[in-house]
Amino acid sequence: MPSCSAVLTFIALAGSVVPPAIAFSATDPFNSEAIAPPRPLLFPAAERADLPCQAVAPGTVYGVLEVVDLALCQNPRTHEAWASARVQAALVGLAQSEYLPALDGSVGIERIRSNGQNATARSASLTLSWLLYDFGARSANLENARQLLSAASASLDATVQSVFLDALQSYFNTQAARAAVSAARESEKASRASLSAAEVRYQVGTGTPADRLLAQTAWSQATLNRIRAEGVLQNAFGTLANVMGLDAGTPLTLADIPEAMPDDAFERDVDTLIAQARERRPDLKAAEAQQRAAQAGVEQARAAGLPTLSLGTGPSWVGGSGDTINTRSNAIGLTLTLPLFSGFSTTYNVRSAQARADVAGAQRDSVRLQVALDVWTAYQSLITATQAIRTTADLLASAEQSENVALGRYKAGVGSILDVLNAQSALADARLQRIQARLDWNVFRATLAKALGALDSSLLNPATRTP
């Protein structure tokens, strides 16, 4: 009768044939890491692909490139989308594993009492099972997994472009808020100069108390506008830090952006732009991949109701104490499974899969229409912003000249304080419109690039990058 040590020897032999699951977890026989999309970075580099984002050094001066690069690296939305794509890559490996055989081992020990006598029964077995043919169920499942990986990769691209645009918008909003604070301080300074002029005229007897009060009111209003602009700037810095994956209170220092007139290189036939967008937009690619995955799901549901052919083989051993008979056996066989009746579950699974494919097709068509609308809206907005930024340059120049003339006339005693205050108010408004026009142009330029599916580092001006 085999002893317990013999059973343990058999188990050790089985363990040498079948490595523990923990050993398998470290391997990647189907190379799923290679088919997963790379980590989203503005400037991909092999040495950074698997490293955590670098800590923000105190005193760092950020240009637009640094802002976007850090946002893509640290924003949780890109982390989530990248992790989802890697999950789907692993599921492709899982679908491929269904083509391989499965090897299972089992051991057992049982204490038996019968007719006042005790006996111990021991057993061990090693079983190999292999699905040989299933009329396309596994291939449909693999195709479904591959299409879902394509959809996840395209969704990652869409998320990257969305975070890219959010970072650009936050960056230019913050720059606009900085410019608005500077403009508010200039207006406050000009209002203080008007108040000083009104006080001088009042002291020499050529001005009225009403002029002095009007100038005082204008100065107080300009101070209030400056305080509000500074509050808006702090909120803009908080929003920018949040997009960059930092705490809202993180101190940030931004590099100045150069003054530049926009060009009209983007002006092309809108129909051509829409056609290009439909070829490049990652969200449309994701919708198309989802629709193809749903079609594969239909084939998988149909194949689930078809026969399967499997191979099974393996040794087994049963032994024990007392009168128990020791047996050893080996078996091999083919199993043909014929689904005869499943309560019409296959029928309704197929119908459900077909309906899901129709849903995915409708969603794809919806995204296709949205692409055209996005391109049209962004294009028209950029056209308007381009014209506005050119016009506000002339508006600002004329407002500055008008303010200088009005203040000079008032100091000379030939103008009224109302002319000065009106000119200063018009100048403050022209400055804000100029700031808004520059903001709109930068944002709508990036929005059009995103609508085209072409938002990447080439959109940014390398001259603005800090060393």
pLDDT in tens, 220-272: 999 999 999 999 999 999 999 999 988 998 889 998 887 766 666 666 778 88
Alpha-carbon dihedral sign for residues 423, 260, 163, 450:
positive
Assign 9 a pLDDT band (cuts: 50, 70, 90).
very low
The yes-or-no verdict on residue 172 having pLDDT over 60 is yes
Degrees (nearest 5) of the Cα angle 32, 37, 40?
145
Mean pLDDT score across all residues of the chain: 84
Query: Are the C-beta atoms of 425 and 183 separated by less than 8 Å?
Result: no
Sequence-ordered list of residues with C-beta below 8 angstroms from that of 442, at least 6 positions apart, any chain: 168, 172
pLDDT of res. 451: 92
Buried b (16+ CB within 10 A) or exposed e, 229-254: beebbeebbbbbbbbbbbeeeeebeb
Assign 46 a pLDDT band (cuts: 50, 70, 90).
very low
- Predicted model pTM: 0.80
pLDDT of res. 269: 77
SS3 call for 318: strand
The more confident residue out of 419 and 202 is 419
The yes-or-no verdict on residue 122 having pLDDT over 90 is no
Mean pLDDT calculated for residue range 29-49: 74
C-alpha distances in angstroms, 368 versus 276, 294, 374?
Answer: 12, 18, 10
CA 54 from centroid of its chain's CA atoms: 19
pLDDT of res. 30: 86
pLDDT of res. 157: 92
Mean pLDDT calculated for residue range 161-181: 93
The DSSP bridge partners found for residue 111 are: 120
